Amino acid sequence: MSFNWFDLIVLFGIMQGIISCMVLIFNRANELHKTLLIAIILVLCILSFKIEIHTLQLWDKPFLRYFPLGIDLLIQPILFLYVYSLTKPNFEFKVKLLFHLLPPALFFIHSLLVYLAVLPIDNLHQKDMVAAQWYFNQVKVVEDVLSVGSAFIYGYLCFIYLKKYQHWLHQFTSDTRYPTLNWLRNMLVVTALLGFSLFVNVLIDNVYPSRKTFFRWQFFYLYLTFLIYYLGIKALTFKTEIITEEQLILEQPVEKQAKYENSDLEAAKMIILSVLAEKKIFLDNELTLLKMSQQLGLSPGLASATINQLLGKTFRSLVNEYRVSEVKIRLLDPAYEHLSLLGIALECGFNSEASFYRIFKAEVGYSPKEYLLKNRIEK
């Protein structure tokens, strides 16, 4: 058994994934979405180990021949459940969701039965003959095809749920505790490319078996290893706030905006900007479109249309713009010198340190500390 650069990269990725899972297990605080993330990383690690069985010639060891690693269909539904848990209000794992895991469970049971059937046999050729009686290769082809199909189906569902969540986030709430989940969108793009790579490999292997090359699968598993690295890092740094059913239900009717006259939009614009500037309702760290509309005496639909069409912003970006402006004022005001940066941010409507720094830098071009230092030097 010898190692090359490919084996070292994949094995290091597996090790990093396992370490990330161990850290999550000890720090997950019974959060279901983190349990699902652990499952995703572990499944990816197992899938990566499958290729190592062949590259390290472990497939020729009688004990590891046909070792049950038939979980190719498992990653897609678990990834969907993870996205679902982050974007669905008050997510709870219900029995009916187990149906998503039924196909991978059936294929795993088949691979387990094959392994148990060949386990007492030491001769590799005889093992292959027994596995053939269980239609091992034919079942693997079916599993590969279903893996490609489920990747497209579940990938589409993941993007739909994420898009719906981000629409709610940007249009209806200014609460900075809720993450934008842009990293999750990036991960879905990465997994979509992984699914496409799987599709190409399966297609070529089955339609043009004479053109089978190990390099294509090496590329696939290197890409898989990169995904493990990425998820491992995010697993250790990502924090989220769970949406409640009340929040989402109250905001949903606004999604279907009616058409409004320009005069109505202009009048609403004056009211919105006036109240934001004078009453500073943006200081409410749980301000929502519905709450603001009630205070302004406007319908949520009219308020949303005004912000989107006349101001060219989302509700979230508009409110955070005013919050950042208020932070800039207070940072230079001696009356607030007794407060820390975070203290000022919290008083201005932010309720997450990480989101405050990110939003401030996006708006101003500097971090809060850099902005403060720059203005002190200029004075």
Instruction: Pinpoint the alpha helices (H) of the chain.
Output: 5-27, 32-55, 75-87, 102-118, 124-133, 136-172, 182-207, 214-237, 245-251, 262-278, 289-296, 300-309, 315-331, 341-347, 353-364, 368-378
Q: How far apart are CA 279 and CA 299, in angstroms?
A: 19
Least confident of 32-41, 237-246, 350-359, 360-369: 237-246
Q: So what's the pLDDT on residue 266? A: 93
Is 139 or 207 the better-scoring residue by pLDDT?
Answer: 139
For the chain, the average pLDDT equals 85
| Structure confidence at residue 252 (pLDDT) | 47
Question: Under a CB-based contact definition with an 8 Å cutoff, are residues 170 and 315 in contact?
Answer: yes
Q: Which of 102-106, 174-178, 231-235 has the lowest mean pLDDT?
A: 231-235
Q: How confident is the model at residue 378 (pLDDT cuts 50, 70, 90)?
A: low
**3-state SS assignment for residue 253:** helix
Could you read off the pLDDT of 213-262 as tens digits, one per residue? Answer: 666 677 777 777 888 877 877 777 766 655 554 455 444 444 455 578 88
The pTM (predicted TM-score) of the whole model is: 0.80
Specify the pLDDT at position 102.
93
Q: What is the pLDDT of residue 249?
A: 43
Burial of residue 347, with CB atoms counted within 10 A of its CB: 0-12 exposed, 13-18 middle, 19 or more buried: middle
Torsion of CA 111, 114, 119, 120, to 10 degrees: 160
Q: What is the pLDDT of residue 215?
A: 65
Reduced to 3 states, what is the DSSP secondary structure of residue 173? strand
pLDDT (tens digit per residue) in 44-54: 888 888 888 88
The reported pLDDT for the residue numbered 127 is 93
| pLDDT-derived band at 328, boundaries 50, 70, 90 | very high
What's the rounded mean pLDDT across residues 11-21? 87
Q: Coil, strand or helix: which one is 49?
A: helix
Helix, strand or coil, per DSSP, at residue 12? helix
- Distance (Å, whole) CA 262 – CA 17: 55
Alpha-helix runs per DSSP H in 279-340 = 289-296, 300-309, 315-331
pLDDT over threshold 50, residue 121:
yes
- Residue with the two structure tokens 């605080």: 29
User: How far from 78 is each of 41, 99, 217, 328, CA to CA, in Å?
Assistant: 10, 12, 23, 44
The half-sphere exposure of 378 on its side-chain side, counting CA atoms within 13 A, is 7
% of the chain at pLDDT higher than 70: 89
Domains of the chain plus CATH, in order, are 5-245 (1.20.1070), 254-378 (1.10.10.60)
Does pLDDT of 131 surpass 90?
Answer: yes
* Mean pLDDT along residues 170-180: 85
